[in-house]
A and B are shown apart, each in its own frame.
Chain A
């Protein structure tokens, strides 16, 4: 059984603050995806990282895949209320049939 931890579970910040959320495991992954889910909707893909050490930027969001491909982080600069949502990491285990596993998520609330 894969042990996948996302932290923090909950985060409430003011507009304009920076934040980082983490996705950690003891297992190596072939790739990792980050999704955002808004209330009442399904998750939507933000990014896929594949190479150890890879950094990808999506406007104010910066995603990093750990060198050993066991962990990842999502950093948001100058958070806005529109960033509010549940952030899910979804790694794909090495040698798996191809299915993703999902973390429990970080619930972010950005107050104006």
Chain B
């Protein structure tokens, strides 16, 4: 198994509070991704990173920001959580070879915004 951990694994928070989710990898992979998974929508890309301090938006980036200050850590921040951000969040990593590279997923973080 690829070395990917996510923390916390579960979180309940209130509307309007800031929340930061952490993804940590020990594989030295270049690319890191944050997805959210919701019933009826599947996996949707929020933000991704193609190197330290290099990030870009995905399909559903509104309300989210990310940071990558070192290769192994990719942080996802909800500045002011809303109920619509209740979801399961997955981090993934890949080696970055275009066309066929595998994405390895973390175990997920279940976030509930009340």
CA A30 – CA B57 in complex, angstroms?
22
CA A99 – CA B104 in complex, angstroms?
13
Q: How large is the interface on A (under 10, 10 to 19, 20 to 34, 35 or more residues)?
A: 20 to 34
List the A residue with the shortest CB-CB distance to B102.
A45
Using an 8 Å CB-CB cutoff, how does the interface string of A26-53 with B read, 1 for contact, 0 for none? Answer: 0000110100000011111100101000
Which B residues between 63 and 114 are near A, CB-CB below 8 angstroms?
90, 92, 96, 98-108
The answer to whether B105 and A43 touch across the interface, beta carbons within 8 angstroms, is: yes
In the bound complex, residues from chain A placing their C-beta under 8 Å from that of B102 are 33, 45, 48
Quick check: is B44 within 8 A (CB to CB) of the other chain? yes
The answer to whether B42 and A104 touch across the interface, beta carbons within 8 angstroms, is: yes
In the bound complex, residues from chain A placing their C-beta under 8 Å from that of B35 are 102
CB distance from B21 to the nearest CB of A (A): 14
Quick check: is B60 within 8 A (CB to CB) of the other chain? no
Q: Which of A41, A45, A100, A104 interacts with B107 by CB under 8 Å?
A: A41
Quick check: is A79 within 8 A (CB to CB) of the other chain? no
The answer to whether A43 and B107 touch across the interface, beta carbons within 8 angstroms, is: no
Q: Which of A43, A45, A97 interacts with B43 by CB under 8 Å?
A: A43
The answer to whether B103 and A100 touch across the interface, beta carbons within 8 angstroms, is: yes
In the bound complex, residues from chain A placing their C-beta under 8 Å from that of B41 are 104
CB distance from B62 to the nearest CB of A (A): 16
CB distance from B27 to the nearest CB of A (A): 14
Which B residues between 43 and 68 are near A, CB-CB below 8 angstroms?
43-45, 48, 56, 58
Q: Which of B44, B45, B48, B107 interacts with A42 by CB under 8 Å?
A: B107
Chain A to chain B contacts (Cβ below 8 Å), 10 pairs: A42-B92, A42-B105, A42-B106, A42-B108, A43-B43, A45-B103, A48-B102, A100-B103, A104-B41, A104-B42
- The 3 A-B residue pairs with the shortest CB-CB distance in the complex, in nearest-first order: A42-B105, A104-B42, A102-B43
Which A residues are closer than 8 A to B by beta carbons? 30-31, 33, 40-45, 48, 50, 88, 90, 92, 97-105
